[in-house]
């Protein structure tokens, strides 16, 4: 919710200058100075130097698209969608596909949206959140802005017109709070990003131990990225990528070699205006001696990997299982993280913690009556002034708003609970998360089974514990269902 007092205080202070900046830019034409100032705002909530430079280029209008002019101001009867429809139809008349139109629009959305704002500022807003829809969602959560449901990845026409739906939502928000169009711009690019703590709201400094490793593909022109040890950049990711996961960068032809190892430093998110849809921020690059495609094809282990047999085609987001990833690190002779996993031949089904999550915990959650939309695997929450904490496992029915986070219950996953001492240590970890989210119950789950603890005694003694085999008993499962089942934990 927008605090009226805080907002008015902002407008009476530095915010007044920001509002005037947007109004003057609109009245006098968007110049190079406009691009410079916008990029200063952008730096607060986006850590990518590449994105910042791209934004600057797009906002230097004459250099970017010198011939683009729809003269929408000449028609006073435009709606958001009729104006967008005119642009869409003009592009599609060039015999291009909806996918190609979307690529054109999304790659230059800062340019197009600023032009539309220049033409009809009452209806449109300039969009400067490329690869940062996570920031849009965070702002919407904090200020109760009802943003529309995101189209699916393959709905390219829907993703094109999604910008129009966002314009409608922000128009309603603006009218509700009696804002001018220039005050809305100041809100979006100055007030709100600072209020949610900018990049600190999603870039995670203290990362959890990696659970998985994934390939990403880069071009020959990206080889220099790993030279910058301070770089943070967005990238296409596997939907299962978690903060902390290892990211193996493969440079495509003509280099055709693994060049560096990175880590994901944000929770993954969907972005309707990012062509690849699923996005995460990666950082902490570690250069390694390049491992060529030919070396992989000749290696006794890697030569059997499907992606290697396919000549590394379609590599983005391909998961590397622990044995392959560890083999890669051995081949590189680099002193980098390696996975510890169980190679017990009698229990190969559960070799890493992710196996427990995917093969035991997720089906367990489903049998309790919850869908995938009912839980989050990672929550990055604010726990104080500029302090955040990552809750890395399962939060069921989470509620998120600034300073207020809750869930019905949590599940802390471990590969194995070998001793009572380790169980007690895991309870301590689960207790911390449980108290942050104000849950009534916490569940510890491993390949051996589950342990349920309660807030009644600060999550100390198990109220129920069963092996997975014991949960096959209807009576035992009913006991768990009566405590954790969907609908049992209404707050």
Q: What is the full DSSP assignment across 113-126?
A: HHHHHHH-TTT---
Decide: 305 and 311 in contact? Cβ < 8 Å.
no
Cα angle vertex 176, ends 175, 179, to 5°? 50
Q: What is the pLDDT of residues 302-315, one digit of tens each?
A: 999 999 999 999 99
Q: Report the distance separating Cα 171 and Cα 169, nearest Å.
A: 5
- Local confidence band at 488 (pLDDT 50, 70, 90 cut-offs): low
Q: In the prediction, which pLDDT does 340 show?
A: 80
Q: In the prediction, which pLDDT does 342 show?
A: 59
For the record, the structure tokens of 426 come out as 């895991």
Alpha helices in 204-261 (DSSP H): none
Q: In the prediction, which pLDDT does 345 show?
A: 42
Q: Report the distance separating Cα 449 and Cα 480, nearest Å.
A: 12
Q: Which is higher by pLDDT, 83 or 387?
A: 83
Q: Report the distance separating Cα 476 and Cα 489, nearest Å.
A: 19
Q: What is the pLDDT of residues 113-169, one digit of tens each?
A: 998 998 889 999 999 999 999 999 999 999 999 999 999 999 999 999 999 999 999
Strands (E) located in 205-350: 213-218, 232-236, 246-251, 257-264, 269-270, 278-292, 319-320
Q: What is the pLDDT of residues 190-221, one digit of tens each?
A: 999 999 999 999 999 999 989 899 999 998 88
Which residues make beta-bridge pairs with 319?
Answer: 214
Cα distances (angstroms) measured from residue 346 to each of 221, 321, 342, 418, 445? 46, 19, 10, 16, 20
What average pLDDT does this structure show over 340-354?
A: 68
Q: In the prediction, which pLDDT does 491 show?
A: 47
Q: Report the distance separating Cα 491 and Cα 487, nearest Å.
A: 10
Lowest mean pLDDT among 83-87, 185-189, 258-262, 401-405: 401-405
pTM of the model: 0.89
Decide: 433 and 391 in contact? Cβ < 8 Å.
yes
Q: In the prediction, which pLDDT does 66 show?
A: 44
- Local confidence band at 350 (pLDDT 50, 70, 90 cut-offs): confident
Among the listed residues 189, 271, 182, 181, the one whose alpha carbon sits nearest the alpha carbon of residue 234: 271
Element (H, E) at 465: strand 462-467
Q: Which is higher by pLDDT, 219 or 491?
A: 219
Q: What is the pLDDT of residues 56-102, one digit of tens each?
A: 998 886 555 444 455 565 555 678 888 898 888 877 766 789 999 99
Q: What is the pLDDT of residues 240-293, one digit of tens each?
A: 899 999 999 999 989 999 999 999 999 999 999 999 999 999 999 999 999 999
Strands (E) located in 307-455: 319-320, 375-376, 379-384, 387-391, 394-396, 399-401, 404-406, 409-413, 441-446, 449-454
Q: Which is higher by pLDDT, 480 or 66?
A: 480
Query: Is residue 227 over pLDDT 70?
Result: yes
What average pLDDT does this structure show over 11-22?
A: 95
Domains detected in the chain: 4-201 (no CATH), 213-339 (3.10.590.10), 353-484 (3.90.1570)
Mean pLDDT of the chain: 90
Q: In the prediction, which pLDDT does 220 show?
A: 83
Lowest mean pLDDT among 118-132, 266-280, 348-362, 464-478: 348-362
Helix (H/G/I), strand (E/B), else coil: 249: strand
Q: Report the distance separating Cα 211 and Cα 341, nearest Å.
A: 10
Q: Report the distance separating Cα 457 and Cα 16, nearest Å.
A: 52
Element (H, E) at 411: strand 409-413
What average pLDDT does this structure show over 362-390?
A: 89
What average pLDDT does this structure show over 358-374?
A: 95
Q: In the prediction, which pLDDT does 225 show?
A: 86
In the chain, the percentage of residues whose pLDDT exceeds 70 is 92
Burial of 242-281, coded b for 16+ CB within 10 Å and e otherwise, reads: bbbbbbbbbbbeebbbbbbbbbbbbbbbebbbbeebbbbb
Handedness of CA 93, 94, 97, 103 (dihedral sign): negative
């Amino acid at each position: 919710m927008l605090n009226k007092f805080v907002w008015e205080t902002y407008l009476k202070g530095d915010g007044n200058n920001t509002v005037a900046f947007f109004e003057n830019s609109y009245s006098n034409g968007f110049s190079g100075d406009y691009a410079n100032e916008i990029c200063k705002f952008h730096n607060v909530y986006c850590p990518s130097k590449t994105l910042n430079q791209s934004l600057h280029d797009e906002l230097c209008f004459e250099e970017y698209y010198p011939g683009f002019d729809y003269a929408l101001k000449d028609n006073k009867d435009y709606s958001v969608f009729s104006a967008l429809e005119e642009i869409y139809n003009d592009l599609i008349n060039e015999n291009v596909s909806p996918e190609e139109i979307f690529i054109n629009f999304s790659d230059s959305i800062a340019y197009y949206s600023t032009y539309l704002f220049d033409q009809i500022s009452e209806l449109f807003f300039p969009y400067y959140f490329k690869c940062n829809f996570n920031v849009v969602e965070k702002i919407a959560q904090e200020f109760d802005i009802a943003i529309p449901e995101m189209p699916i990845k393959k709905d390219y026409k829907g993703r094109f017109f999604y910008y129009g739906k966002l314009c409608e939502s922000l128009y309603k928000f603006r009218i509700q709070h009696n804002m001018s169009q220039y005050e809305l711009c100041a809100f979006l690019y100055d007030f709100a990003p600072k209020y949610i703590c900018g990049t600190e709201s999603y870039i995670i400094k203290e990362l959890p131990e990696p659970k998985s490793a994934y390939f990403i593909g880069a071009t020959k022109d990206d080889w220099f990225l790993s030279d910058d040890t301070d770089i943070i950049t967005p990238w296409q990711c596997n939907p299962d990528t978690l903060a902390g996961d290892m990211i193996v960068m493969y440079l495509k032809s003509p280099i055709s070699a693994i060049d560096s190892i990175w880590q994901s430093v944000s929770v993954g998110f969907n972005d309707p205006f990012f062509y690849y849809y699923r996005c995460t921020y990666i950082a902490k690059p570690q250069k390694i001696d390049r491992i060529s495609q030919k070396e992989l094809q000749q290696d006794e282990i890697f030569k059997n990997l499907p992606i290697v047999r396919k000549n590394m085609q379609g590599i983005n987001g391909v998961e590397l299982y622990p044995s392959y990833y560890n083999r890669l690190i051995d081949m590189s002779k680099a002193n980098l993280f390696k996975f510890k996993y169980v190679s017990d031949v009698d229990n190969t089904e559960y070799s890493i913690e992710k196996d427990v999550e995917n093969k035991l915990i997720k089906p367990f959650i489903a049998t309790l009556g919850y869908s995938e939309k009912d839980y989050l695997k990672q929550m990055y929450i604010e726990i104080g002034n500029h302090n955040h904490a990552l809750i890395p496992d399962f939060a069921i029915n989470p509620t998120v708003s600034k300073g207020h986070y809750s869930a019905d219950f949590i599940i802390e996953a471990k590969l194995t609970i070998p001793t009572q001492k380790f169980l007690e240590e895991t309870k301590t970890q689960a207790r911390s998360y449980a108290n942050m989210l104000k849950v009534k119950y916490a569940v510890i789950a491993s390949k051996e089974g589950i342990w349920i603890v309660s807030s009644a005694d600060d999550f100390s003694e198990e109220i129920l514990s069963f092996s997975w085999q014991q949960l096959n008993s209807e009576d035992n499962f009913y006991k768990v269902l009566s405590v954790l089942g969907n609908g049992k934990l209404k707050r």
